[in-house]
Amino acid sequence: MCLKQWFSALLFAGIVCSGLQSQSKAPEQDKSAEKPAVTPSDFSKEAYVIEKSYSRIRAEDDGTGTREVTVEVKVLADAGVKAFAVLNFTYTSANEVVDIDYVRVRKPDGSVVKTPDYNIQDMPGEVTRIAPLYSDIHEKHVAVKGLGVGDVLEYLVRYRVIKPEVPGQFWNEYSFFKEAIAKDERFEISFPSTKYVKVVSPEFKPEIAEEGGQKIYRWTHSNLIIKAKEPGEVPRRFPPKPDVQITTFASWEDTCRGSFCKPPYQRPLQPWASVVVAREAQRRAPRVPEGTGDHAGQRPVLSKCGGRSRCT
């Protein structure tokens, strides 16, 4: 037998053997195929489950805009009752107005308990006690009436930007739930289709559409598993980068204001220029100690601007 024929025979033998092995494993594969994919559905050990969280932003060409946050939370334990007994909505009084359409509790028997308006208090933000420079930061506190285990908390809040911080510009950032069960989470932003807007969202791809002269970005997400922390895992020194970053600033020069125009800050910037400016300002400000403000047991995604550390 020549060398070429010998290699052909060897190749044929290999194909036959692999075919026999696949046939012998087929029943095992069929058995595994019969088992349906396991979808997490037992959340009984959770303190609460976010049934729905919708955030919709409409930005106008002059920098004003509106933001609507609709949330439904199923409370499953006393810890959940404690977490949502008082809702906290942070805003800047110099340029924003907050309207709370409703806060209500839906009982298992179908009855509804509405939180009255006199349960809403408007007060200076906790951070103003440490940093008076931020005196325009206010909080609306809502003491939820009748919340108990097994109830569904529902609320709708509207933010209106009546005076943009920078005329003709807007920016925002958003992070999806990762440390809580969220069945249906949606984030949407719309703005004039003729306006330059940089949207960065590498991990979460949006649906993009144009309707009535508006460009609309829509994200949908669900988080059905909470990742367990590794033993000995060191806590992050800084929070992770937001999942969605949006800005109308095209360069650092567009954000040039006061001391930020001086070296070493005078340089080209990445698309989310304003976010960098905000973080630099935060770095210069006095550090808020643990146990105060948003660190005092508040849920940042729900209690502060519906998922962002910076409101529109």
Domain ranges of the chain: 48-303
| CATH code reported for the domain at 48-303 | 2.60.40.3140
Please give the pLDDT value at position 185: 97
Q: How many CB atoms lie within 10 A of CB 220?
A: 14
Contact 249, 169 (CB under 8 A): yes
The structure tokens 């070296």 sit at 263
Q: Rg (Cα) of the chain, in Å, rounded?
A: 26
- Taking the C-alpha atoms of residue 223 and residue 116, their distance in angstroms, rounded to an integer, is 32
**Residue-wise pLDDT tens digits, 28-56:** 444 444 444 445 668 889 999 999 999 99
Six-digit token pair at 118? 């006199």
In tens digits, the chain (312 residues) has pLDDT values of 443 343 333 333 343 344 444 444 444 444 444 444 445 668 889 999 999 999 999 999 999 999 999 999 999 999 999 999 999 999 999 999 999 999 999 999 999 999 999 999 999 988 887 887 778 899 999 999 999 999 999 999 999 999 998 899 999 999 999 989 999 999 999 999 999 999 999 999 999 999 999 999 999 999 999 888 778 777 777 778 899 999 998 877 777 654 444 444 443 333 344 444 444 444 434 333 322 233 333 333 333 333 333 333
Contact 161, 66 (CB under 8 A): yes
- Taking the C-alpha atoms of residue 117 and residue 136, their distance in angstroms, rounded to an integer, is 23
DSSP 252: G
Q: How many residues does the chain have?
A: 312
Q: How many CB atoms lie within 10 A of CB 150?
A: 13
Please give the pLDDT value at position 237: 77
Please give the pLDDT value at position 267: 39
- Taking the C-alpha atoms of residue 48 and residue 262, their distance in angstroms, rounded to an integer, is 48
Contact 207, 187 (CB under 8 A): no
Six-digit token pair at 312? 């529109």
- Taking the C-alpha atoms of residue 91 and residue 97, their distance in angstroms, rounded to an integer, is 8
Q: How many CB atoms lie within 10 A of CB 254?
A: 17
